[in-house]
Structure 1
Amino acid sequence: MRLYAQTPARRNRQLLVDLIAVTLIALTVRAAFFVRDIIMLLAEPGQKVESSGDGLAEELGNAGDAASDVPLIGDVLKKPLQSAADASSGFADAGASLQASVTQVADVTTTALIVILVLLILVLWLPPRLLWIRRSMIVRRLADAPGGADLLALRALTGPPAALVELPAPPGGFADAWRRGDQEAIATLSAVALAHTGLRP
């Protein structure tokens, strides 16, 4: 199995397209993670709310513990402080929940961007490459088979005429030479068919 053409022009085009495809995939992944970093900036207010809520809850809890030591009215003083501490813990939980939601959105967006864009690149890139690999295998197998040169010559005759214009035609033309079994003309036409695929005789 041959991955690249033998003729320099086609091989260089294939290498260039492969390089572009790989570069686009790498840029797509990088861009997706950049988008994730931008989305994660939305989690910063949640971090601040969580941190502030935890700090306030701790301070109010400490104040409530200290107030409970006051004789006679300690329990009365502690109750509102403890309620305020519980409310502050609720704020902290809300901040943590916001961060979790933002993280989930960032992860889903990043995954979707990578999967969709990479699949699009692969759909545009891989089928032509695989088709060429398959075609080159068939043409090479045909060239090596008995009588394969005749079939390749026929393929050159039925292919784009531009490939034959610059070649010195035998008397009566290439079609007549092929019908007569002219081995030199058949070899020339076979080489044209191979070159059209990007292979050498």
Structure 2
Amino acid sequence: MKWYADAGLRRCRQLGFDLLTIGWVATWVWLGALAHRQIGASASGARKVEGGGRQISTHLHEAAGILAKAPVVGGRVRRPVDQAADAGTQLQHAGQQLADNLGRVGAAIGVEIALVPVLVAIVGWAVVRVGYARRAGRSIALLRLPGGRDVVALDALGRLPSGALAAIGPDLAAGRRAGNPEVTDALVRNYLRSLGLRPDDDTSGTTSDGRKSPAGGSQVARSAGT
């Protein structure tokens, strides 16, 4: 595949589109990560509640143990203190659960924020750029094969806009069926130009009947990246 055109203006547009796509993806990934961090910051408060509940439970259990040693009333005094310690344990568990839930929610929201825009950008980029790379690479590969010019000419008939075909000349289909090499050359040349590719006249080419192209070349596009 050939990812970039030879023509400077089209190559600049392609590079700009690639950079714009990268910037778009990076921006939405950053926004998703930011949302995750913001919600995660709220989880720190829940962690403090968890830690506070743990300390309350620990200290009250220690106090209950001390009070239990008091003669006569030790057992009765310990019971409410143990209950308060159990409440501290419940507070600890609630804080832990809240922190865990906030962490999961933050991750889910971060992914949801970034996922759709990133997927849209990647799909759009793939349709535009991969489609171009396949068409350009296919044309270059065909022009290196015997009879490949005829296939590229057929591609030109199917892909070039009607205005461009009309500008080439009348009865293109008839000339193409008759194997007119001038018609074939014109179609190939205009199709390459529509892809932003420059013909290379140093490479000789043949049509399907084995004749040299009158243009003196196979119109193979220059490409350092194929």
Question: Shorter-chain TM-score: what band?
Answer: 0.7 to 0.9
CA RMSD of aligned residues (A): 2.9
Using the TM superposition, name which of 10-19 and 47-56 deviates more.
47-56
**Residue ranges of structure 1 left out of the alignment (5+ in a row):** 166-172
**For 1:193, which of 161, 173, 191 is the aligned residue?**
191
Match of 2:209 in 1: none
**Paired residues for 1:175-186 under 5 Å:** 175=170, 179=175, 181=180, 183=182
CA contact (8 A) 1:194 1:200 kept: yes
Amino acid at match of 1:4: Y
Distance 1:159 1:125 in 2: 22
Matching of residue 11 in structure 1 with residue 6 in structure 2: no
Q: How far apart are 1:176 and its partner, in Å?
A: 7.3
2:165 and 2:30 map into 1 onto residues whose CA distance is: 44
Percent sequence identity is: 28
Answer yes or no: is 1:51 the counterpart of 2:51.
yes
TM-score (norm. length: structure 1): 0.80
TM-score of the aligned structures, taking structure 2 as reference length: 0.72
Q: Distance in 2 between matches of 1:69 and 1:151?
A: 99
In 1: Cα distance, 2:157 partner to 2:198 partner: 14
* Structure-1 separation of matches of 2:197 and 2:57: 76
Structure-2 separation of matches of 1:158 and 1:60: 82
CA deviation after TM superposition for structure 1 residue 74, in Å: 1.6
Partner in structure 2 of residue 72 of structure 1:
72
**Aligned mates of 1:182, 1:87 — CA distance in 2:** 92
Q: Which has the higher helix share?
A: 1
1:97 CA drift (Å): 0.8
Structure 1 window deviating more from structure 2 (71-80 vs 39-48): it is 39-48
Instruction: Kindly provide the CA deviation profile for residues 125-148 of structure 1, in whole angstroms up to 9, marking residues without a partner as x.
Output: 111111111211232234334455
How far off is 1:90 after superposition?
0.6
Where in structure 2 are there 5+ consecutive unaligned residues?
Answer: 200-226
CA contact (8 A) 1:157 1:189 kept: no
Task: Say if 1:157 and 1:174, in contact at 8 Å, map to a contact too.
Answer: no
Distance 1:174 1:25 in 2: 45
CA separation in 2, counterparts of 1:63 and 1:6?
A: 82
